[in-house]
Amino acid sequence: MSLPARAIITPPPVPAPEPEKPEARHFKFPTAYTILFWLIVAVAAATWVIPAGQYNRVKNEALGKDVPVPGTYHGVESSPQGLREVLLAPIAGFYDPKSETARAIDVALFVLVIGGFLGVVTKTGAIDAGVGAAMRALAGREKWMIPILMGLFAAGGTIYGMAEETLAFYALIIPIMIAAGYDALTGVAVIMLGAGVGTLGSTINPFATVIASNAAGVPFTAGMPLRFAILGLGWLACVTYVLRYAERVRRDPAQSLVADMAESNRERFLKPRASSGTPPLTDMRKVVLVVFTLSFVIMVWGVASAGWWMAQMSAMFLASAIVVGVIARMGEEELTTTFVNGARDLLGVALVIGLARGIVVVMDAGKITDTILFWSEHAVSGLSTFAFINVMFVLELILSFFVPSSSGLAVLTMPIMAPLADFAGVGRHLVVTAYQSANGLLNLVNPTFAVVMGGLTIARVPYNRWVQFVWPLLLILAVIVMAAISAAA
The number of domains in the chain is: 1
Q: Are strands 57-60 and 74-75 parallel, antiparallel or unpaired?
A: unpaired
**One-letter identity of residue 132:** G
Q: What is the CA radius of gyration of the chain?
A: 27
pLDDT reported for residue 245: 95
Among 160, 172, 162, smallest CA distance to 114 is for 172
Q: Are strands 65-68 and 57-60 parallel, antiparallel or unpaired?
A: antiparallel
In a domain, 45, yes or no: no
Among 241, 268, 246, smallest CA distance to 182 is for 246
Domain interval for residue 129: 33-39+81-488
In a domain, 427, yes or no: yes
pLDDT reported for residue 337: 94
In a domain, 16, yes or no: no
pLDDT reported for residue 475: 96
CB 232 within 8 A of CB 480: no
pLDDT tens digit at each of 489 positions of the chain: 444 444 444 444 545 555 544 444 566 777 778 888 888 999 999 999 999 998 888 887 766 777 788 888 899 999 999 999 999 888 888 876 555 544 578 878 888 998 899 889 888 888 777 767 776 777 667 788 899 889 988 988 888 788 887 888 888 888 889 888 899 999 999 999 999 999 999 888 877 888 888 888 888 888 889 999 999 999 999 999 999 999 999 999 999 999 988 888 888 887 644 445 567 888 899 999 899 889 888 887 887 788 787 888 899 999 999 999 999 999 999 999 999 998 988 888 788 778 878 888 888 889 988 888 888 888 887 788 888 999 999 999 998 888 888 888 888 888 888 888 887 788 889 999 999 999 999 999 998 888 898 899 888 899 999 999 999 999 999 999 999 999 988
CB 398 within 8 A of CB 409: no
pLDDT reported for residue 301: 86
Task: Give just the sign of the alpha carbon dihedral 322, 328, 333, 338.
Answer: negative
Phi, psi of 369 (to 5 degrees): -60, -50
In a domain, 63, yes or no: no
In a domain, 28, yes or no: no
pLDDT reported for residue 22: 47
In a domain, 7, yes or no: no
Q: Could you count the other beta carbons within 10 Å of the beta carbon of residue 8?
A: 5
In a domain, 17, yes or no: no
Q: What is the enclosing helix (H) or strand (E) of 192?
A: helix 184-200
Phi, psi of 75 (to 5 degrees): -70, 150
pLDDT reported for residue 236: 96
Q: Are strands 74-75 and 53-54 parallel, antiparallel or unpaired?
A: antiparallel
In a domain, 475, yes or no: yes
